[in-house]
Amino acid sequence: MKNIYGPVNSRRLKLSLGISLIPDKTCSFNCIYCQLGPTKECVIERKEYVLEEDIVAELKSWLDNNITDAKQINYISFSGSGEPTLYNKIGSLIKRIKKITAIPLTVITNSSLLHIASVRKELLEAHLIIPSLDAVTKEVFQKIDRPHSGIKIEDVIEGLINLRQEFKGKIWLEVMLVKGINDDLRHIRKLKEAIEKIKPDKIHLNSPVRATAKSGIQAVDAKKLRKIKEILGDNCEII
C-alpha cells in the first residue's frame, strides 16, 4: 500500500486507518517537535500530490481484502507525513470515501490553511476535525511551529473560529506544549482567550515524548501539564 497505512492504535482515535495525501514531510510548518524530522519542503501551494483515483482504488482494495479488520476500525484519518489540507482534492475525496464506507472520517491538520474559506468548505463533510493550535503570539508561533512566511497566527485563529461556525461535526483542538517555548502561563492565558472564541468540543494537551526535528526539545512536566489543564477548563484532557 502506497498511501494507506495502519490500522494504528491510539488513545484518542482507538483504531484508525491512515491515509497519507502528501509526500514525505511536505508541510506548511517546520515544527521544532515534529517526530518526522525537519520539513523537506515548506509550502502553502495546494496540489493533487497523489492522484485521487489512486487513493480511492487503494482504499477500495484494502476494504475488500480486510473485511473483518475493517469492522473494527473507528476512523479513517487523513494525516500521515505532511499537512493534509495541502491536498487540493481533499473535499472530493471525503465525499467519495463516504460513498464506499460508513467508517467515520477525521482530518488531522495544523490549521495553517483554515483561513481560506474554500479549504474549510472542503472539510465540512468529515465527521471529526483535529486541528492544532500551539501558539497565539507571533513570537511563540515562529519559535514552535516555524511556519511558511505566508502564514500569520491571527489568520490561523480566525480560520479556527470560522471553522467552528461552519462545521457541524466534532472539533478536538490539539495543543502541543514544549518546555520553555509555549508553556509560560501568560501565554497559556492568552491561548485560553483564543480557545474560548474557537469553542472546540475538546482540548487535547500533548507534550513531545519521542525524537524531535530539533534537538534539545523538552517535554512539559506532569505537574505543569495539570496546571495548564486546570486553566484551560473542563473540556481539556492530557493525552
Interacting residue ranges for ligand SF4, rule: CB under 6 A:
27, 29-31, 34, 36, 39, 82-83, 110
Nearer to ligand SF4, 63 or 133 (CB): 133
Distances (CA, A) of 78 to 22, 108, 210: 10, 6, 21
Q: CB of 6: closest distance to ligand SF4 in angstroms?
A: 17
Nearer to ligand SF4, 46 or 63 (CB): 46
Q: CB of 33: closest distance to ligand SF4 in angstroms?
A: 7
Q: CB of 145: closest distance to ligand SF4 in angstroms?
A: 6
The edge-to-edge listing of strands for the beta sheet with 105-109 is 4-10, 14-20, 75-79, 105-109, 128-131, 170-176, 202-206, 236-238
Nearer to ligand SF4, 83 or 183 (CB): 83
| Contact in structure between 195 and 173 (CB atoms under 8 Å) | yes
Nearer to ligand SF4, 36 or 161 (CB): 36
Q: CB of 197: closest distance to ligand SF4 in angstroms?
A: 22
* Cα(53)–Cα(40) distance, integer angstroms: 26
* Cα(105)–Cα(78) distance, integer angstroms: 8
